[in-house]
């Protein structure tokens, strides 16, 4: 018998692929395919799979395959089948044949989705749902709407663009001290002849297209204006042509690998536009809305340009005079803020983001405005401001009246001169907000007092933050923007000898450092849609590094999301994210310079925009923040703020992980088509079911009919039920606690939905607001299951059974008892929690709820939307109602 190792080393070194090309032979692929066949038959046996793969290798040589006659992929697969049958494993052979057939179908479907006859490396490695999202949202198309870009080309064009910021600061070219003089006009002349320089230069093996070349020119001109360029632009091009900068190919590869490994993805506009004509890479923008017609029209025009470029806009409408107020210049009557929101809503409708989707808006009104009641109730009716999220901005004066004043009298103020505009009862107003949110999931609340509590930038900008981006997680000053990106935590695990997973903290630190630099680079290579945005964004250099895959990570680590262990682990994840990103931002400041307004902020005074540093005891902090603050005082910091947990709906589909820091919406989604029921199943849950011989379509159907939850299903062991919790398994108070755990250490804010079952009361919603504020949250979005209008949507099947009850964890009950001191707040929260009725499992008939069509069906593919991270998401095509994900 021929030794199998000898065969690998001497007899077969290559394999002929389906497209005719040849690649290195890898025996592990045979082993893995056989092992997967065993696993699919619920008989995982690694040792036997190794023996069978050796037998396949022997057969290959017996069939005459050699160094000079490499086998084809099909030949190898045929021999795997015959070996399994010859060795008496016909049942495994059947699984392998089915697996092979399924793989062929998937390959064909992938090629169809990507409009190609040959899959590239990314097309092969990404699953079909990821590729559908890439195809529908990100891959470049021609004027006939045909895809003209491979997935690998997409990620390469992004990586090349991001690396230009590194290259332009090479020591031969750049000095952060300034004082250099170059011919800027000579460099700018190249902008007129971009076509002539498309694909003429390259970095290593990576070519620069004309939009990359445009970026190189713009970056050079920007730095030359500041006296930071040591050489002329022509000298730079000469050096580029003579391969002086080929070392930066490694940096391009680093950025490329971050994305194709699905370890990190930037916000959607970056993938849509990097290396393309539009060149606008940020998701989040805020515009001002001053109370004069010229400014209002300027804002409207700027919003249209932002929508066109792929971004979303947040606007605070509180400076507009109230409806019915006399307009002195015309002696007419003001139409009020809501009417101007309708103008922006219409503009949003007709201008698609980057030609891909409608824009998103955040409309904010502060609680003191005379039109506040109309604003609160405006979206409770269907068809109103459909392109808006709306939020009420709350300040400390209102909160003090609400929780400390018996009569609750709160003074409204005129936006024109800040004079008194009547009184309203604070309790009535919070009840009205809660009632509206209970009914329609809007408005949200933004706690401006909490946002500005540690705002180090207020002095430099001349006042507090008063607006956020469309999903509320990113506070910005007028004309500021922010580019976001998310690390896939579910990928950052090591498998131990016993088969269990361990989190890889070292790799997490390394990726935080790389991605902080990546996002800082985006600021330089970005082509902003409005000049004022270019200026304001570079003055603050604000970035938003965040996470996704938290729920899947906890599944892998076997840690329940809503447990003390789960909260403690998430707290450490959040602290590490901000600590290492700020540390890298200091390192960038040393080599590239601090952000321009840094000296005018509170950073030189030793203050930082991180509540956990001030509010968590030193012994509970994992990192040496005092040492970091000393570095900031010595070297400055490159970015005013560095971390944000943003919505990652579409990005999570690309990365094949759970959304942001949210719990999974469901373990099993049902999809009904004409030939029957199909199930989308969480892959980690599916694997655990198979490992424990529990997996079956019947069990999946039970989970799907149980609101996607494993809770209360007797066939599923308690330990699995406790670990694999979903959003609907978790009480709203635990949702808030999870958000607060992240908020303690995130410098911006968190995109999170506080999920509530259909049968909660308005008092629950109100109690959630009170608890959210006391926990230090910067905003809250409540979603009661079924809180939409006008269309009947069948939420459950005819035989659905509610097998679980939702109650607060012991940990959150203890937290409330020990941390909530205000008597009014404590009584409201305790009353809501005491009202929970623990029901026995009982059968419920088919239920229908009133749901608004536009909010329920995806505008792209007409499948059902879910609500997560404060915005709508389609699990079929990846449509997201938010811009960042």
Return the H-helix or E-strand segment holding 678: strand 676-681
Determine how many CB atoms are found less than 10 A away from the CB of residue 330: 9
**Hey, what are 798's tokens?**
């005819």
How many angstroms separate the Cα of 574 from the Cα of each of 97, 131, 203, 570, 870? 45, 30, 36, 6, 20
User: Which amino acids are annotated catalytic?
Assistant: 469, 471, 473
| Residue 707 Ramachandran class (φ > 0 left, ψ -120 to 50 alpha, else beta) | left
- In angstroms, the CA 639 to CA 488 distance is 22
| DSSP strand pairing (871-874 vs 865-868) | antiparallel
Q: Enumerate the H helices of 7-118 as residue ranges.
A: 27-40, 46-62, 73-86, 90-114
Task: Judge contact between 252 and 160, C-beta under 8 A.
Answer: yes
**Hey, what are 618's tokens?**
């030193």
- In angstroms, the CA 864 to CA 820 distance is 39
**Hey, what are 120's tokens?**
């590239």
- In angstroms, the CA 709 to CA 725 distance is 7
Of 581, 622, 882, 602, the residue nearest 746 (C-alpha): 581
| DSSP strand pairing (676-681 vs 668-673) | antiparallel
How many angstroms separate the Cα of 618 from the Cα of each of 568, 612, 621? 15, 10, 5
Mapped onto helix, strand or coil, the DSSP state of residue 744 is coil
Return the H-helix or E-strand segment holding 119: none
Of 4, 175, 14, 146, the residue nearest 83 (C-alpha): 4
Count Cα atoms within 13 angstroms, Cβ side, for 633: 12
- In angstroms, the CA 710 to CA 699 distance is 10
DSSP annotation of 750 reads B
Instruction: Please give the radius of gyration of the chain, using alpha carbons only, rounded to the nearest integer.
Output: 29
Enumerate the β-bridge partners of residue 202.
Answer: 207
Q: Judge if the upstream peptide bond of residue 443 is cis by omega within 30 degrees of 0.
A: yes
Of 464, 462, 484, the residue nearest 473 (C-alpha): 484
- In angstroms, the CA 261 to CA 501 distance is 19
Mapped onto helix, strand or coil, the DSSP state of residue 209 is coil
- In angstroms, the CA 747 to CA 736 distance is 17
- In angstroms, the CA 484 to CA 114 distance is 27
Place of tokens 């504020």: 773
Return the H-helix or E-strand segment holding 792: strand 791-794
- In angstroms, the CA 569 to CA 865 distance is 31
Q: 862 φ, ψ to 5°?
A: 65, 15
Of 639, 581, 511, 585, the residue nearest 254 (C-alpha): 511
Q: 796 φ, ψ to 5°?
A: -140, 165
How many angstroms separate the Cα of 178 from the Cα of each of 89, 167, 231, 576, 640? 73, 17, 12, 34, 22
Enumerate the β-bridge partners of residue 868.
Answer: 871
| End-to-end Cα distance, the chain | 57
- In angstroms, the CA 338 to CA 318 distance is 10
**Hey, what are 871's tokens?**
């915005």
């Amino acid at each position: 018998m021929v030794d199998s190792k000898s065969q690998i080393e001497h007899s077969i070194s290559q394999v002929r692929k389906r497209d005719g090309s040849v690649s290195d032979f890898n025996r592990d692929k045979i082993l893995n395919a056989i092992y997967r066949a065993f696993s699919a038959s619920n008989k995982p046996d690694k040792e036997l799979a190794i023996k069978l793969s050796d037998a396949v290798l022997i057969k290959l040589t017996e069939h005459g395959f050699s160094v000079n006659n490499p086998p084809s992929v099909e030949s190898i697969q045929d021999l795997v089948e015959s070996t399994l049958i010859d060795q008496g494993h016909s049942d495994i052979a059947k699984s392998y044949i089915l697996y092979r057939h399924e793989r062929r179908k998937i390959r064909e479907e992938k090629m169809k989705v990507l409009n190609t006859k040959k899959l590239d490396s990314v097309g092969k490695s990404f699953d079909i749902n990821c590729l559908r999202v890439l195809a529908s949202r990100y891959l470049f198309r021609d004027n006939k709407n045909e895809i003209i870009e491979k997935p690998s080309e997409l990620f390469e064009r992004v990586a090349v663009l991001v690396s230009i910021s590194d290259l332009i600061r090479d020591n031969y070219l750049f000095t952060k001290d300034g004082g250099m003089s170059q011919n800027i006009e000579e460099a700018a002349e190249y902008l007129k002849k971009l076509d002539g320089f498309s694909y003429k230069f390259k970095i290593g093996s990576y070519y620069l297209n004309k939009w990359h070349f445009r970026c190189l020119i713009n970056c050079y001109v920007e730095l030359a204006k500041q006296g930071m360029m040591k050489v002329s632009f022509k000298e730079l091009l000469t050096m580029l042509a003579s391969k002086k900068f080929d070392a930066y190919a490694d940096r391009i590869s680093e950025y490329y690998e971050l994305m194709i490994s699905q370890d990190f993805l930037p916000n959607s506009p970056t993938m849509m536009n990097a290396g393309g004509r539009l060149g606008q890479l940020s998701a989040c923008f805020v515009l001002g809305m001053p109370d004069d017609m010229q400014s209002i029209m300027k804002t409207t025009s700027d919003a249209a340009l932002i929508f066109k470029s792929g971004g979303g806009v947040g606007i605070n409408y509180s400076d507009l005079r109230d409806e019915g107020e006399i307009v002195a210049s015309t002696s007419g009557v003001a139409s009020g803020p809501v009417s101007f929101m309708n103008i922006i809503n219409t503009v949003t409708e007709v201008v698609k983001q980057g030609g891909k989707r409608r824009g998103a808006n955040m409309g904010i009104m502060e609680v003191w405005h005379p039109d506040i009641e109309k604003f609160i109730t405006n979206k409770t009716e269907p068809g109103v401001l459909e392109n808006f999220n709306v939020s009420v901005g709350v300040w400390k004066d209102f909160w003090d009246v609400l929780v400390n004043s018996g009569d609750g009298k709160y003074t409204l103020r005129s936006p024109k001169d800040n004079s008194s505009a009547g009184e309203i009862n604070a309790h009535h107003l919070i009840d009205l907000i809660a009632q509206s949110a209970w009914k329609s999931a809007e408005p949200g609340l933004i706690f401006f007092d909490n946002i500005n509590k540690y705002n180090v930038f207020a002095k430099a900008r001349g006042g507090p933050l008063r607006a956020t981006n469309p999903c509320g997680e990113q506070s910005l000053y007028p004309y500021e923007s922010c580019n976001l990106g998310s690390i896939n935590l579910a990928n950052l695990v090591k498998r131990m000898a016993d088969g269990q997973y361990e989190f890889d903290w070292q790799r997490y630190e390394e990726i935080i450092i790389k991605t902080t630099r990546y996002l800082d680079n985006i600021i330089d290579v970005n082509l902003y849609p409005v000049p004022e945005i270019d200026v304001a964004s570079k003055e603050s250099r604000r970035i938003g590094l965040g996470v996704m895959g938290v729920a899947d990570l906890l599944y892998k680590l076997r840690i329940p999301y809503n447990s003390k262990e789960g909260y403690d682990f998430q707290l450490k994840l959040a602290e590490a994210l901000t600590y290492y990103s700020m540390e890298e931002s200091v390192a960038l400041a040393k080599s590239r310079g601090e952000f321009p307004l840094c000296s005018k902020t509170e950073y030189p005074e030793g203050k930082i925009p991180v509540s956990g540093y001030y509010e968590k005891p030193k012994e509970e902090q994992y990192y040496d923040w005092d040492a970091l603050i000393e570095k900031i005082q010595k070297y400055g910091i490159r970015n005013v703020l560095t971390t944000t947990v943003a919505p990652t709906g579409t990005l999570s589909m690309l990365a094949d992980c759970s959304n942001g820091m949210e719990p999974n919406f469901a373990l099993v989604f049902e999809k009904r088509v004409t030939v029957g029921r199909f199930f989308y199943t969480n892959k980690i849950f599916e694997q655990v079911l198979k490992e424990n011989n529990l997996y079956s379509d019947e069990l999946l159907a039970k989970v799907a009919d149980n609101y996607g939850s494993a809770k209360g299903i007797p066939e599923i062991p308690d330990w699995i039920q406790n670990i694999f919790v979903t959003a609907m398994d978790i009480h709203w108070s635990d949702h808030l606690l999870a958000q607060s755990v992240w908020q303690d250490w995130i410098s911006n804010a968190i995109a999170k939905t506080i999920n509530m079952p259909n049968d909660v009361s308005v008092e629950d919603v109100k109690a959630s607001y009170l608890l959210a504020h006391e926990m230090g949250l910067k905003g809250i979005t409540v979603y009661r299951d079924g809180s939409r209008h006008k269309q009947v949507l069948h939420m459950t099947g005819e035989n659905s059974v509610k097998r679980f009850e939702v109650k607060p964890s012991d940990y959150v009950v203890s937290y409330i008892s020990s941390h909530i001191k205000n008597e009014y707040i404590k009584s409201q929260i305790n009353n809501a929690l005491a009202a929970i009725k623990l029901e026995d499992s009982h059968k419920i008939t088919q239920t229908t709820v009133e749901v608004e069509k536009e909010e329920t069906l995806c505008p792209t593919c007409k499948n059902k939307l879910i609500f997560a991270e404060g915005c709508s998401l389609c699990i079929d095509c990846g449509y997201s109602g938010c811009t960042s994900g």
